[in-house]
Amino acid sequence: MKTQVTIIGAGPAGLLLGHLLRAEGIECVVLERQRPAYVADRIRAGVLEQVTVGLMARLGLDARLKAEGLPHDGFNLADGERLIRIDLTDLVGQHVTVYGQTEITRDLMAAADERGVRVIYGAGDVALHGIDSDAPYVTFTQDGAAMRVDSRFVIGCDGFHGPSRKAIPASAAREYERVYPFGWLGILADVPPCNHELIYANHPRGFALASMRSSTRSRYYVDVPMSERIEDWPDDRVWDELATRLGPSAGPMVRGPALEKSIAPLRSYVFEPMRHGSLLLCGDAAHIVPPTGAKGLNLAASDVYYAAAALTGFFAHGDNDGIAGYAAKALARVWKAERFSWSLTRLMHRFPDDGPFERAMQVAELDYIAGSRAAQTAIAENYVGLPV
């Protein structure tokens, strides 16, 4: 097979990039290890920045997002009895949109055929070759048969565990990593949310987040040590823990059976560079943020925005500057989101090694935020997403 761009991974990054390239008349093939049902059902992010919403609008794939997405003008930080509201629209004149990653993925998958985005599902043993050259190729297996795609560029959108990043020689790379001593246990249920806005809570027993997917579907999280097993968390135990940590100021919590329940590790990670030769990395393939700032999916979208512009410049105008500048441009935004996600994680979680001093620092910072419009503005401008 021959194409202009090979995309590895059909998560939100790969699918979004495939659509953006096709909209510019660029040929691409997307290789995905999983089957479509698996990709469509993964429960993950829920909060979209305007950049992400804007890309769906640019593609004309935002009809359902506009009809079903919930604009949120603010969110809350809770510490004990105190709720600090961050009024996004008042502070920075923007809002975020609550619309599940599952829905974005489904919208992109549903439109793939009609837009000529070719996705090969069930692609096994994907391996990258010749990324140092102008003629890279990717080999894979499909139903047992050996396959090969030749293209001018390969884009790694294959998440944290995919093969793309590993194809870059260690001598050319640098990794930055922080693994947190807890994970988030998430529960999804068809019950109305306890509050019309998100609440991030710091409680002596640990962190809790009240989020939602719609007015009838709620998503909640508590942090737990990574040694915990999901089997030891029957639904009632999760609801009890949420009720304690969120407290009465969160509003009345309706309980219901879990549609999904899992524990996700928390990590900060950046891989540099995000381009090596003819390979560009986008999304979780190059970086991970702890979910506290709701930045993972949105960073994947901004990477893809830069990558699509660079590839369009190359194929439409023979301009190599965008490709040459891709890594620096993407990383500048990535590092700011890493900082924000790390600092919000630090502020809202009880770390096992923390003593009275660290807790006093959290209280002082929350006091400062509660009383300072400048501090709230800094949080708001990061939460709605920095400009691309």
The residues carrying an active-site annotation are 72, 200, 291, 295, 383
Max distance between CA atoms of the chain, in angstroms, equals 64
- CA angle 151-154-156, nearest 5°? 155
Map residue 102 onto helix, strand or coil.
helix
Return the number of the residue (34 or 244) whose C-beta is nearest ligand RFL: 34
Map residue 189 onto helix, strand or coil.
strand
CB of 75 to ligand PHB, least distance (A): 8
Looking at the DSSP bridge assignments, the partners of residue 70 are: 98
**162: contact with ligand RFL by CB under 6 A:** yes
Q: Which two tokens stand for residue 172?
A: 């050319």
Q: Which of residues 186-205 bind ligand RFL (CB under 6 A)?
A: 186
CB of 255 to ligand RFL, least distance (A): 20
Looking at the DSSP bridge assignments, the partners of residue 30 are: 7, 119
Q: Which of residues 34-73 bind ligand PHB (CB under 6 A)?
A: 45-47
**379: contact with ligand RFL by CB under 6 A:** no
Q: Which of residues 5-64 bind ligand RFL (CB under 6 A)?
A: 8-14, 31-34, 39, 44-47
* Percentage helix, strand, coil for the chain under 3-state DSSP, each rounded to 5: 40, 30, 30
Q: Cβ atoms within 10 A of the Cβ of 381, count?
A: 16
Q: Which two tokens stand for residue 100?
A: 């599940």
Whether the Cβ atoms of residue 141 and residue 33 lie closer than 8 Å to each other: no
CB of 184 to ligand PHB, least distance (A): 8
Return the number of the residue (44 or 58) whose C-beta is nearest ligand RFL: 44
From the list ligand RFL, ligand PHB, none, partner contacted by residue 9 (C-beta under 5 to 8 A by kind): ligand RFL
Cα dist. 37→33, 40, 41 in Å?
Answer: 12, 5, 6
Q: How far apart are CA 163 and CA 71, in angstroms?
A: 36
From the list ligand PHB, ligand RFL, none, partner contacted by residue 296 (C-beta under 5 to 8 A by kind): ligand RFL
**107: contact with ligand RFL by CB under 6 A:** no
From the list ligand RFL, ligand PHB, none, partner contacted by residue 123 (C-beta under 5 to 8 A by kind): ligand RFL
Q: Which of residues 171-210 bind ligand PHB (CB under 6 A)?
A: 198
Out of 88, 294, 311, 334, which residue is the one contacting ligand PHB (CB under 6 A)?
Answer: 294
Q: How far apart are CA 44 and CA 100, in angstroms?
A: 7
Whether the Cβ atoms of residue 65 and residue 107 lie closer than 8 Å to each other: yes
CB of 46 to ligand PHB, least distance (A): 3
Measured in degrees and rounded to the nearest 5, phi and psi for residue 95 equal -130, 175
CB of 178 to ligand RFL, least distance (A): 15
Whether the Cβ atoms of residue 335 and residue 270 lie closer than 8 Å to each other: yes
Out of 184, 220, 340, 383, which residue is the one contacting ligand RFL (CB under 6 A)?
Answer: 184
For ligand RFL, the binding residues (CB under 6 A) are 8-14, 31-34, 39, 44-47, 101, 123, 126, 157-159, 161-163, 184, 186, 264, 283-284, 291, 294-298, 300
Q: Which chain residues interact with ligand PHB by CB under 6 A?
A: 45-47, 198, 211, 219, 291-292, 294
